[in-house]
Amino acid sequence: MKDDIFNGAGDQPPLPSRATRRIAKRSKYSSRGGIVVQLRGWARPRIVFFESKLEQRVLFLLLARGDLIDLWEQPPSIAYWDDEGRRRTHFFDFLIRLSSGRRVAIAVKPAKRASRIGFVRDLQCIRAAMTKDFADDLVLITDQDFTKAEALNAERYHEFSRSRNEMAFERLSDVVRSMSFPTSVGALAKFLDAGDQSFRTVFIAIYEGLLSVDRTMPIDTDTAVYLGVVR
């Protein structure tokens, strides 16, 4: 996927990206693009850009959080002194705000590259310079922090939730009261009997806490599903 914008917000035009840093020029390693996002803390949908496949995966994982209120890609830079006394600036990849009010600055890097360039040391210096006005904490997310299946599941949830069928979801809420768990996603979807909405509705319910599965593995019809909030 290169330099694409995916609009899932219907007829309402999205607001532009808030990124404060110019998107890097395309290279053979980049996978730039953007998606249209509607968060519950936003009055309008907005375009959110990513600059790599890893950033894209992390973005979908963040959007799948039930407590996400705000997300800002490439927020204003932080000025800091590195461990050799040189003045530098750093742009975080994402700045998020959670329903608790906590704000977290997120750096995204491949694990091998972060280790090779001493990025963890830089983050320690950045943490020392970061004020509470910007964020309460910072987190480094690498490709070792999640599985590809976990990111793909989150991407599918984002896709499915754009066309959520409320009637099917209400029926599922009733159906689970009369079923024995654990069962399979396919069996539950068949029992729901909502046509092509059945699998999508069960999938959405997994991310919204009605059901739970092992999200680190691909979610398909054979996946074991349990009743209750995901832990």
Answer for the pair 148, 118: CB distance below 8 angstroms, yes or no: no
Both 66 and 163 in one domain: the answer is: no
- In this predicted structure, which of 5-9, 44-48, 118-122, 171-175 has the lowest mean pLDDT? 5-9
In the structure, what pLDDT confidence band is assigned to residue 10 with cuts at 50, 70 and 90?
low
Q: What is the pLDDT of residues 196-210, one digit of tens each?
A: 999 999 999 999 999
Q: Residue 25 — pLDDT band, cuts 50, 70, 90?
A: low
Residues 153, 134 share a domain: no
Looking at the structure, do residues 20 and 99 belong to the same domain, yes or no? yes
Structure confidence at residue 118 as a pLDDT band (50, 70, 90)? confident
Q: Domain check: are 193 and 103 in the same one? A: no
Q: With CA atoms as reference, report the closest residue to 213 among 176, 183, 178, 175.
A: 183
Q: What was the pLDDT predicted at 3?
A: 45
DSSP 15: B
Same domain, 162 and 199: yes
14/121 same-domain check: yes
Q: Average pLDDT in the 201-227 region?
A: 97
Q: Total structural domains in the chain?
A: 2
Are residues 35 and 134 located together in one domain of the fold? yes
Give the domain extent around 193. Answer: 148-227
Q: What percent of the chain has pLDDT over 90?
A: 83
The answer to whether residues 21 and 120 belong to one domain is yes
